[in-house]
Amino acid sequence: MLEIRDLWADYGGAPVLRGVSLDVASGEVVGLVGPNGSGKTTLVRAVTRVMPLRSGEVRLLGEDSRTLTRAALARRVAVVPQSPALPEGFTVLEIVLMGRTPHLRLLQSEGPSDLAAARRALTQTGATALAPRFAHQLSGGERQQVVIARALAQEAPVLLLDEPTSHLDVGHQMTVMGLVRRLCQERSLAVLATIHDLTLAALYCDRLVLLDRGAVVAEGSPESVLQPELIARAYGAEVTVLRHPASGRPVVVPLPPEAARRPPVRADSPQAKDSIAALEIGGGGPPSGDGRRDGGER
Amino acid sequence: MRRARALAAPDPQADAFAGEEAFALPGVRPLRISLLLALAAVLAAVLLGASQGSVGIPFTTVVRILASKVLGLGSVTWPETWEEIIWQIRLPRVILAGLVGATLAFSGAAYQGILRNPLADPYLIGVAAGAGLGATIVLVSPVPYAFGTLSLLPPAAFVGAVLAVSISYGLARSGGVAPNVTLILAGVAISAAATSAMSFLIMANHERVATVLSWLLGGFNTATWQKVGIVLPYSLVGGAAVLASARFLNVLQLDEEEAQQLGVPVERVKLLVIVTASLATAAAVSVSGLIGFVGLIVPHTVRLLWGFDYRRLVPMSMAAGAVFLILADLAARSVLSPSEVPVGVVTALCGAPFFLWLLRRHRRAVF
Amino acid sequence: MRRLPLLGILLALLLALTLVMAACGGEKEPAASPEPTAPATDFPLTVTRSDGRNLTIAEAPQRIASLSPAATEVLYAVGAGPQIVATDLQSDYPAEAENTTKLDAFQPNLEAIAGVEADLIIIASNQDDIVEALDRLGETVLFIEVPDTIDGVMGQVWLLARVSGHAEEGGRLAQEMKDRMRAVTDKLADVEEGPRVYHELDNTFFTVAPNSFVGDFYSLLKAHNIAEGAPTAYPQLSQEEILDRDPEVIILADADAGESAQTVKARPGWGVISAVKNDRIYVVDPNIVSRPGPRVADALEQLARVLYPEKFP
């Protein structure tokens, strides 16, 4: 549904995106990870054409994004921004109804079908109770619900989320990501989410794309992308990658400074008797699951 | 604050919702009622303005004169002077005040929406300073500028205003985009330049100070049907364009990027609104001088009373602006009768305390 | 020490340059002044200025700078023209005033005024405290504000004549003016109330009230000024007032803005005014009427002709 081909973009100086290519299919959640400044937000902006592209192509449902009008583009891809602007004086319902903008003609006002779409979106995000409240008075978690509802009301097949969980506590992080997965499946959306928490990304995404300094350095299942060497090269940090006991997904934890100086432990070494060492991926691992992704624990 | 009444159709899942009221469409039906009331208020103001003046003409006579001129009813039983006063002097004056008030108000609302700045008014990016300079050049030049019913003054003010705004916009625009902050800065710079040129001209021709100052302070003293005809087309087109863009203006209150991502052609909307609102303001200013305060305060007052949705804000601002300026002009010509007080002085004197009171009320309600 | 001669040469050059500039600088010299015609016994003279201070003039001034158009007219009228070296930008009558050094009275330049080296400076309006500044420089400053009544004009004619050493001519001029004006008012002795008049200062309907200088003319001529009762001396009337008060004569002082009898007739609604119906709309030179100088007699006669055509053909 979303095809990005060899995208190059910059802000007038050095390239920020260097030949990025990736695909997102309907029904899958792709996590875009990478260090700060790697170009994650820029990619979202480039796809939605709010910034000019140097070269490359973005295809939405097979059509080149450059041939689409703003409204047509907005009917195909919806964005949940990182720090949404929620102006004073508008209720949550009014904000969510703004998601219907690309479906309305010039002098047309919102009609019953638009109201129904907004209603559905609010129900699905569990934000129904917020509807009559003023948007600018909400807490962080509630705001996130509202902008997701607005993006849903747009009824676009492609959904881009820019750091949807960065301002949220762990409970809300799980709620939001769980919601995203569920919606992806219920509505067969193609979801691309930039996430800075690698463990969260691994848990909720079907595939990961690792971006470093504007280029894709790894792509594939969470296990294949979240390798300590790749992470070290991209983030400049030494980490340990463990296996989550329940889901089998990678869990990325920082390596303590002292341990960094020790060589990596092999599963068949004497130190492997250490229970933690036994959890490391690529070192044998526990019997449950086979390390590949499954539709389990949410 | 009034909330829209529910009009959602019965829904089997209605119980799951937090109340029908929450799901009403933003004020469509109540808007119709509000608009009718607003229109009635404007007509009442026009009638009031036409019936009051330094020359006392009985109300019933005024109504009969209007009926006779507009509908052709009744026979003439009043002195010719009264008819001329009502039809040629008072009525065009009241209509012009209403038109200019509505124009300044909807332009102010439009600018505030586009620039997302509560301090924006229609004069911000150069209209006032440009018009002032154009008018001053004509007023101080030794060349006569009045030719019977034709005068060079309105066209000069209009051209000055349009030039100033165009230069501001041109300076701010790069790569097809005119960012708001750049636009405001350019407008302030151009306004400063025009104002200094104007001040220099005034000082160099000080014997004309009274005339120029009188024009700058604004007034409807010299209103004619011709002037109404000058402003009307610009106001109609500008008003229609801003009304049509009202829904986009709502969405624009989000980040400009978010609005783009929601399908709004942001730069096109900005250009359309700025061009039409500026032209309308330039036309208004060219015939009535620089009447301050209306463009800034009326939209805010309407917001406090009727909310932030531009689909309600724009039409209600038009009506409120018209009524406000008609009444202000009435005060301007009645307070020191037979002498006139500049309308701009009245708008500032009346508007400021009223707005402060409203602000206090709003703060208690919200905080 | 080889630098010393060079420094000395530079200093000498600088000094020479300064001397040359001082000698060649300044505006063109006026014509040589003739002998004063006032009796020597008139001086020294002490007069009281508008700020209450006294000014003593030792002898008849030979280099007068007049920063008041009205004073300029008076001085030329009493024969003090040859003594005038500088006038202000607004002094446009008589034509000889154009040949003098021009100074700005509205935004006075202290250096320019002092640079003229006048032995008497006449100032009518203390802009930017110029009077005090010139006092401090030791200049002889006669600060007299313009009179706001016609009687006051007589007094000023007399004063300026004495101060410039032309007491006799001054007396003669004042008497002549009085006689002419009395001739006019005498003819109006039998008039109880004159026509209603509207004097237009500009095309946004600024006019003159009876308590202004121009209004004084109309009072003398027993005309009924329709601006009577206004709170200020130069009020702005509303059009409907003008229509209602129905002036019989309209005097236009804004011809330079393009107004004329034709433009007034074309104004919407003005057709009901008597002055318009009877074609009694006249243009006057605003300077004659509003400048408190020796031409007030001309102004009075002109206005009398316009207001009472039967009496003053």
Per-residue pLDDT of chain B (367 residues; tens, 9 = 90+): 333 333 333 333 433 333 344 444 554 456 788 889 999 999 999 999 999 888 888 888 888 888 888 888 777 788 888 888 889 889 999 999 999 999 999 999 999 999 998 888 889 899 999 999 999 999 888 877 777 667 888 899 999 999 999 999 999 988 778 888 899 999 999 999 999 999 999 888 877 787 788 888 888 988 889 999 999 999 999 999 999 999 999 999 998 899 999 999 999 999 999 999 999 999 999 999 899 889 988 998 899 888 899 999 999 999 999 999 999 999 988 887 777 888 988 898 877 787 787 778 777 655 4
For B251, the closest chain A residue by CA position comes to A98
Q: What is the ipTM of this complex?
A: 0.81
At B351 the pLDDT is: 74
At B1 the pLDDT is: 33
At C17 the pLDDT is: 55
Query: Are B261 and A93 within 8 A, CB to CB?
Result: no
Work out the minimum CA distance from C88 to partner chain B, whole angstroms. Answer: 13
- Model confidence band, residue A156 (pLDDT cutoffs 50, 70, 90): very high
The number of distinct structural domains making up chain A is 1
Asked if pLDDT for residue C25 goes beyond 70, the answer is: no
- Identify whether A63 is part of a domain: yes
Asked if pLDDT for residue A265 goes beyond 80, the answer is: no
- Identify whether A280 is part of a domain: no
Partners of A110 on chain B (C-beta within 8 Å) are: 25-26
At B204 the pLDDT is: 85
Strand order in the sheet with C84-88: C101-103, C84-88, C64-67, C120-123, C141-143
Partners of C90 on chain B (C-beta within 8 Å) are: 207
Partners of B214 on chain C (C-beta within 8 Å) are: 204, 206, 236
Average pLDDT on C269-276 reads: 92
Average pLDDT on C73-88 reads: 91
CATH code, residues B29-67+93-366: 1.10.3470.10
Partners of B262 on chain A (C-beta within 8 Å) are: 74, 98-99, 101-102, 154
Virtual torsion, Cα B158, B159, B164, B168, nearest 10 deg = 100
Asked if residues C73 and C294 have their Cβ atoms less than 8 Å apart, the reply is yes
- Model confidence band, residue A136 (pLDDT cutoffs 50, 70, 90): confident
Average pLDDT on A64-69 reads: 89
Asked if pLDDT for residue A37 goes beyond 90, the answer is: no
Mutate to test the interface with C, among B83, B89, B211, B341 (most CBs of C within 10 A): B89
The DSSP annotation for A62-86 comes to TEEGGGS-HHHHHHHEEEE-SS---
- Name, of B61-70, B94-103, C69-78, C138-147, the range with top average pLDDT: B94-103
Query: Are B260 and A78 within 8 A, CB to CB?
Result: no
Asked if pLDDT for residue C9 goes beyond 70, the answer is: no
Work out the minimum CA distance from C223 to partner chain B, whole angstroms. Answer: 19
Q: How distant, in Å, are the alpha carbons of B221, B229, B232 from that of B91?
A: 12, 13, 15
Query: Are C203 and B146 within 8 A, CB to CB?
Result: yes
Query: Are A97 and B262 within 8 A, CB to CB?
Result: no
Residue B30, chain A, CB below 8 Å: the answer is no
Query: Are A128 and B250 within 8 A, CB to CB?
Result: no
DSSP E strands in B98-163: the ranges are 146-147, 150-151
At B314 the pLDDT is: 95
Touching status, chains C and B (3+ beta-carbon pairs under 8 Å): yes
Average pLDDT on A99-115 reads: 89
Partners of B92 on chain C (C-beta within 8 Å) are: 268
Query: Are C243 and B338 within 8 A, CB to CB?
Result: no
Work out the minimum CA distance from B256 to partner chain A, whole angstroms. Answer: 9
Q: Which domain holds residue A147?
A: 2-224
For A106, the closest chain B residue by CA position comes to B244
Work out the minimum CA distance from A157 to partner chain B, whole angstroms. Answer: 14
Mean pLDDT over each residue of chain C, to the nearest integer: 84
- Identify whether A269 is part of a domain: no
Q: Which of B167, B178, B175, B166 is nearest to B267 (CA)?
A: B178
At A280 the pLDDT is: 59
- Identify whether A248 is part of a domain: no
Partners of B265 on chain A (C-beta within 8 Å) are: 69-71
- Model confidence band, residue A264 (pLDDT cutoffs 50, 70, 90): low
In total, the C-beta contacts within 8 angstroms joining chain A to chain B are: 99
- Identify whether A233 is part of a domain: no
Asked if pLDDT for residue C253 goes beyond 80, the answer is: yes
Asked if pLDDT for residue C18 goes beyond 60, the answer is: no
Q: What structural domains does chain C harbor?
A: 40-174 (3.40.50.1980), 189-307 (3.40.50.1980)
pLDDT tens digits along A213-236: 999 999 999 999 998 899 988 888
- Model confidence band, residue A167 (pLDDT cutoffs 50, 70, 90): confident
- Identify whether A214 is part of a domain: yes
Mutate to test the interface with B, among C146, C236, C263 (most CBs of B within 10 A): C236
Please enumerate in sequence order all residues whose Cβ is within 8 A of that of B283, keeping only pairs 6 or more positions apart, or say none: B103, B158, B230, B231, B234, B235
Partners of B308 on chain A (C-beta within 8 Å) are: 87-90
What is the residue extent of each domain of chain B? 29-67+93-366
Please enumerate in sequence order all residues whose Cβ is within 8 A of that of A232, keeping only pairs 6 or more positions apart, or say none: A238, A239
Give the CATH number for residue A14: 3.40.50.300
Query: Are A110 and B308 within 8 A, CB to CB?
Result: no
pLDDT cut 90: percent of chain C above it: 34
Work out the minimum CA distance from B73 to partner chain C, whole angstroms. Answer: 21
Please enumerate in sequence order all residues whose Cβ is within 8 A of that of B104, keeping only pairs 6 or more positions apart, or say none: B122, B281, B284, B291, B294, B295, B298, B321, B325
In whole angstroms, give the CA distance from residue B3 to residue B31.
11
Query: Are C238 and B80 within 8 A, CB to CB?
Result: no
At C12 the pLDDT is: 59
- Identify whether A60 is part of a domain: yes
Q: Which residues of A64-77 are buried (b: 16+ CB within 10 A; e: fewer)?
A: ebeebebbebbbbb
pLDDT tens digits along C201-237: 888 888 999 988 899 899 999 999 999 888 888 888 8
The DSSP annotation for A153-185 comes to HTT-SEEEEESTTTTS-HHHHHHHHHHHHHHHH
Q: Which residues does residue A251 pair with via DSSP β-bridges, in sequence order?
A: A242
- Name, of A153-162, B49-58, C37-46, C89-98, the range with top average pLDDT: A153-162
Partners of C209 on chain B (C-beta within 8 Å) are: none
Asked if residues B10 and B34 have their Cβ atoms less than 8 Å apart, the reply is no
For A153, the closest chain B residue by CA position comes to B262
| B interface with C, Cβ–Cβ below 8 Å | 53-55, 80-81, 84-85, 87-90, 92, 142, 144-149, 203, 206-207, 210-211, 214-215, 219, 221-222, 224-226, 333, 336-340
Residue B309, chain A, CB below 8 Å: the answer is yes
Mutate to test the interface with A, among B262, B302, B312 (most CBs of A within 10 A): B262
Asked if pLDDT for residue C256 goes beyond 90, the answer is: no
At B272 the pLDDT is: 94
Work out the minimum CA distance from B18 to partner chain C, whole angstroms. Answer: 60
- Identify whether A11 is part of a domain: yes
